């Protein structure tokens, strides 16, 4: 008896059906915004991550040497892969490039609720536009995905920030600050106690008092962004504040401003983010961890050897993630299982007629099952009941001697005989009620 690996999940049909509905809803939303679907490899050169984040990141990867001696890894995220793809065909691609995909990723990390070592995620990215409308469209796609799944504005919130605001604020202090480490500290603010958080900022180069003042500025900026420009006359800081305000104004026009709260302590941990970033949270607080996040990464394409290309995107975890927890918390989780419209029951040597009926019903878009195990009449009826078949079509040798089949409504138990040549006939969905 073999057991599955820790952090990897089997999805049985009654679990997979609602997950498929979630994925289909998000993907249909992406298509409505004009995103085009891509497919990407599970395996990539490990250097795509180690070159940018250092060798320590291999502790978080499923990496190994392949038979050619190359250092490869199962992909832990999509952004470097799509950056590589854009660089490969940058001149031929029409701008803006709008891509989406749903696929698994692998991260060697501590397993906990809503966080596994294999996860499935839908990513949507826009390449080639630095305009606030691109950021707002990503926010709108994310919000529409959630509302299309049955949530409303009181049940989720987007905490929106700007990485350049954080960086320019840090550079305004009279200190030798490692802005990358300081922003990483901000990203951990909600996960550690105050003393450890201030200590991380001190380790990045701020004095204790400066760390306090910096944090106070972030909190003040949540309510009034002008408090930041009053603290510093940096033109770059003013430009970053203006950009955030322009994105929020565009989000208003896109109909999703109500979901957005300014939260400057939202930093996103990955170093390639450059401008507006955001994370989605459960507004009720019952799901304490981030549901998903995204943001702008304007320099990554250039860092991968391409021409300077602005980019913004979002990754929505759909399986082995916190999104199912959010939907379940707010009673928006889809119903389990798929509906079975017809079960074609066979008694005796009737396979040809039964197969013809099943085929014609399927051609009309219905879910149809029939016997493939040579079971008895009673066993087939029990099976039809177990799969919640709405209608059973009984094709028996005796009925066929009279050129008839029996159509049975499973909920009421009522049944009637109809001419075999007239079933399914011209009706798109023939049921007992249509035939009596």
For helices 132-148 and 235-253, the axis angle rounded to 10 degrees is 40
Rg (CA), the chain: 28
Say if residue 270 carries a ligand binding annotation.
Answer: no
Report the C-alpha gap between 123 and 315 in whole angstroms: 4
Report CA-CA distances (Å) from 176 to 172, 188, 213, 216, 362: 10, 21, 16, 20, 70
Q: Shortest CA distance to 161 belongs to which of 285, 300, 279, 242?
A: 279
168/179 Cα distance (integer angstroms): 9
Asked whether residue 125 is marked as a ligand-binding residue, the answer is yes
To the question of whether residue 77 is assigned a binding role by annotation, the answer is yes
Q: Is 356 annotated as a binding residue?
A: no
| Residue 107 assigned ligand-binding role | yes
- Is 51 annotated to bind a ligand? Reply is no
Question: Binding residue per annotation — 184?
Answer: no
CA–CA gap between residue 3 and residue 5 (Å, rounded): 7
Binding residues: 77-79, 107, 121, 125, 268, 272-273
Binding residues for L-histidine: 77-79, 107, 121, 125, 268, 272-273
């Amino acid at each position: 008896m073999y057991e599955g690996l820790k952090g990897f999940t089997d999805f049985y049909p009654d679990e997979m059906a609602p997950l498929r509905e979630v994925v289909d809803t998000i993907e249909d939303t992406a298509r409505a915004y004009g995103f085009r679907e891509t497919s990407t490899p599970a395996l990539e050169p490990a250097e795509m991550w180690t070159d940018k984040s250092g060798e320590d990141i291999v502790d978080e990867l499923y990496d190994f040497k392949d038979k050619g001696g190359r250092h490869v890894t199962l992909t832990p995220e999509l952004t470097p892969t799509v950056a590589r793809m854009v660089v490969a065909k940058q001149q031929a691609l029409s701008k803006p490039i709008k891509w989406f995909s749903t696929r698994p990723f692998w991260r060697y990390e501590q397993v906990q609720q809503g966080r596994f070592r294999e996860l499935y995620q839908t990513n949507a990215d826009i390449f080639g536009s630095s305009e606030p409308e691109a950021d707002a469209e990503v926010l709108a796609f994310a919000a529409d995905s959630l509302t299309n799944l049955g949530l409303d504005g009181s049940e989720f919130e987007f905490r929106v920030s700007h990485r350049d605001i954080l960086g320019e604020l840090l550079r305004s202090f009279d200190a030798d600050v490692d802005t990358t480490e300081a922003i990483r500290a901000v990203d951990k603010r909600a996960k550690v106690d105050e003393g450890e958080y201030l200590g991380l900022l001190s380790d990045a180069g701020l004095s204790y008092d400066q760390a306090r003042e910096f944090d106070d500025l972030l909190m003040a900026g949540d309510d009034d962004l002008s408090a930041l420009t009053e603290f510093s006359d940096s033109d770059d800081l003013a430009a970053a504040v203006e950009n955030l305000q322009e994105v929020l104004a565009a989000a208003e026009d896109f109909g999703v401003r109500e979901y957005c709260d300014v939260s400057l302590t939202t930093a996103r941990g990955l170093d390639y983010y450059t401008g507006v970033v955001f994370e989605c949270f459960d507004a009720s607080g019952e799901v304490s961890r981030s549901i998903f996040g995204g943001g702008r990464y304007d320099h990554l394409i250039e860092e991968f050897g391409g021409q300077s290309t602005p980019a913004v995107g979002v990754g929505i975890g759909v399986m082995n993630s916190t999104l199912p927890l959010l939907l379940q918390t707010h009673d928006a989780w889809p119903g389990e299982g798929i509906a079975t419209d017809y079960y074609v029951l066979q008694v005796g040597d009737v396979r040809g007629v039964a197969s013809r009926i099943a085929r014609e019903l399927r051609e009309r878009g219905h879910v149809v099952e029939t016997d493939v195990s040579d079971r008895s009449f009673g066993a087939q009826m029990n099976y039809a009941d177990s799969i919640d078949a709405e209608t059973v079509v009984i094709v028996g040798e005796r009925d066929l001697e009279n050129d008839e089949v029996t159509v049975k409504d499973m909920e009421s138990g009522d049944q009637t005989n109809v001419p075999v040549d007239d079933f399914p006939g011209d009706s798109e969905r023939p049921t007992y009620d249509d035939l009596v």
